[in-house]
Amino acid sequence: MDAAEFRKRGKEMVDYVADYLEKIDKRQVFPDVEPGYLRPLIPDCAPQDPESFEDVFKDIEKIIMPGAASPACTELETVMLDWLGKMINLPEEFLAGKDGQGGGVIQGSASEATLISLLAARTKTIRRVQSENPELTEAEIMGRLVAYASDQAHSSVERAALIGGVKIKNVSSDDKFTVCGSALKKVLDEDKASGLIPFFFCATLGTTPCCSFDRLLELGPICNKENIWMHIDAAYAGSAFICPEFRHLLNGVEFADSFNFNPHKWLLVNFDCSAMWVKKRSDLIGAFKLEPLYLQHHHQERFRSLKLWFVLRMYGVTGLQEHIRKHVRLSHQFEHLVLQDERFEICAEVVLGLVCFRLKGSNELNKALLKSINEAKKIHLVPCYLREKFVLRFAVCSRTVESTHVKFAWQHISQLATDLLQTWEHDDHQQ
């Protein structure tokens, strides 16, 4: 939608809301639809091609308003997560369908999804261990539980373990910043030998520092065999799986208990919309019976699935695929520009929309470069450490980004590097 249409539709929307408020006494106070009314009214999967705003909007009155906030809100959410799950070709077990055991739910953030899956795994493990060893108290079991994640995992995983009151250990990633099966196996064997109970592993697809991918096909079978809940955090990278050429990165998801990615990060949906699927809904519902986190969205005044419905229909699967592909193409364009300049190096494989790069030289030099880039305020970069190296991260993010922006950014960086290197050589910064 361009700015002109947005202006027009925005005004129509204000009229719609004002009309609704003005004529609210003409509407029924309680819906007469039955739970389950919504699914038969909408297609089974997302449209391939974009639909017009008019068509999407007509459905509000036809499909949503009769169910008002409830049950429409919950039902649309379940159906939208089935649409989205099919778009990334999630195994059937994760979908709710009409009577599946799995299904998706919208969370506020990937951090929340990780926390919820860790808590569900904790409950499930405590119950299992207690049934095998009735003499153990819950506190004794809790004291022996251990969660695991890559040393490249997002900080929210460690935070989830802190909140959940369980130990967490890093699993070492390899020279590609990837966790492989043998690394996990090694810590599991050590920990089991010392009496600990491994119960949760958070695999990352698309790590925050450099977008590396843990090896699900090796890790999944180990977790399944050891009764370890495998959660997959694909907060950023998950959106790319709607493109068949990137779907292989998700192979092994069939071994997971829960999977999460953020449409609010890379699928043009506004914050907050983090999509989480589980194979067994009962694991979540069972874990939160007293404090129904899973059901929290019923009580919230937010209707987060509506924005997903609009975006999926207004862009269509093909439109969203184009968006992802454009970003990946542009990150490779940036990568090529970096590679043509001998002063610089690429620090991790470029798979999606992130390029990790640096000047060949000390961390101090690269910190100075980042400082001059961010102080100029024409572009903004967020750095990271990869092992001991200070690295600059170029992330393609904007919906409206074009090749000219990437060229501009590179010329700018390159010029600042030239300026910096001139002064640097005259100073005695060099180490």
Ligand X SMILES: *Cc1c(COP(=O)(O)O)cnc(C)c1O
Cβ nearer to ligand X, comparing 74 with 109: 109
Cβ nearer to ligand X, comparing 9 with 323: 323
Q: What's the min distance (Å) between Cβ of 211 and ligand X? A: 8
Which of 148, 236, 294, 315 touches ligand X (CB under 6 A)? 236
Cβ nearer to ligand X, comparing 154 with 307: 154
Query: Any bridge partners for residue 147, and if so which?
Result: 168, 200
**Distance (Å, rounded) from C-alpha 12 to C-alpha 17?**
9
Q: What's the min distance (Å) between Cβ of 388 and ligand X? A: 21
> Binding to ligand X by residue 218, rule CB under 6 A?
no
Q: What's the min distance (Å) between Cβ of 167 and ligand X? A: 20
| Six-digit token string for 177 | 């910043």
Q: Name residues contacting ligand X, limited to 173-192 (CB under 6 A).
A: none
**Distance (Å, rounded) from C-alpha 47 to C-alpha 27?**
31
Q: What's the min distance (Å) between Cβ of 261 and ligand X? A: 9
**Distant-in-sequence, close-in-space partners of 407: CB < 8 Å, separation ≥ 6:** 333, 337
DSSP state, residue 269? P
Dihedral over Cα of 152, 153, 159, 164: its sign: negative
**Distance (Å, rounded) from C-alpha 279 to C-alpha 259?**
9
3-state SS, residue 147: strand
Q: Name residues contacting ligand X, limited to 146-175 (CB under 6 A).
A: 154, 156
Query: Any bridge partners for residue 345, and if so which?
Result: 358
> Binding to ligand X by residue 352, rule CB under 6 A?
no
Which residue is listed with tokens 């999407």?
Answer: 56
Please confirm whether the linkage preceding 71 is cis (ω < 30° from 0): yes
Cβ nearer to ligand X, comparing 78 with 207: 207
> Binding to ligand X by residue 204, rule CB under 6 A?
yes
3-state SS, residue 259: strand
Q: What's the min distance (Å) between Cβ of 206 and ligand X? A: 6
The stretch near ligand X (CB under 6 A) out of 26-34, 57-65, 233-241, 399-407 is 233-241
The stretch near ligand X (CB under 6 A) out of 65-73, 107-115, 326-334, 386-394 is 107-115
Which of 233, 257, 283, 335 touches ligand X (CB under 6 A)? 233
**Distance (Å, rounded) from C-alpha 123 to C-alpha 386?**
35
Closest by CA to 117, choosing from 129, 105, 132, 127, is: 105
> Binding to ligand X by residue 72, rule CB under 6 A?
no
Q: What's the min distance (Å) between Cβ of 112 and ligand X? A: 7
Q: What's the min distance (Å) between Cβ of 384 and ligand X? A: 11
What is the separation of C-alpha 353 from the centre of its chain, rounded to a whole number of angstroms?
Answer: 14
Q: What's the min distance (Å) between Cβ of 154 and ligand X? A: 3
> Binding to ligand X by residue 327, rule CB under 6 A?
no
> Binding to ligand X by residue 213, rule CB under 6 A?
no
Cβ nearer to ligand X, comparing 75 with 114: 114
The stretch near ligand X (CB under 6 A) out of 90-98, 124-132, 206-214, 411-419 is 206-214
Q: Between the CA of residue 416 and those of 289, 347, 369, 410, 427, what are the distances in Å? A: 57, 20, 7, 10, 17
Q: How many residues bind ligand X (CB under 6 A)?
A: 14
Q: What's the min distance (Å) between Cβ of 254 and ligand X? A: 20
* Spatial contact of 381 and 357, defined as CB atoms under 8 Å apart: no
Strand order, beta sheet including 103-107: 103-107, 274-278, 258-261, 229-233, 197-204, 145-150, 167-171
> Binding to ligand X by residue 110, rule CB under 6 A?
yes
**Distance (Å, rounded) from C-alpha 83 to C-alpha 151?**
33
Q: What's the min distance (Å) between Cβ of 183 and ligand X? A: 18
Q: What's the min distance (Å) between Cβ of 110 and ligand X? A: 3
Cβ nearer to ligand X, comparing 75 with 233: 233
Which of 78, 239, 274, 331 touches ligand X (CB under 6 A)? 274
**Distance (Å, rounded) from C-alpha 179 to C-alpha 215?**
6
The stretch near ligand X (CB under 6 A) out of 201-209, 246-254, 378-386, 402-410 is 201-209
Q: Between the CA of residue 235 and those of 77, 112, 239, 259, 275, what are the distances in Å? A: 19, 11, 8, 9, 9
The binding site for ligand X (CB under 6 A) comprises: 109-111, 154, 156, 204, 206-208, 233, 235-236, 262, 274
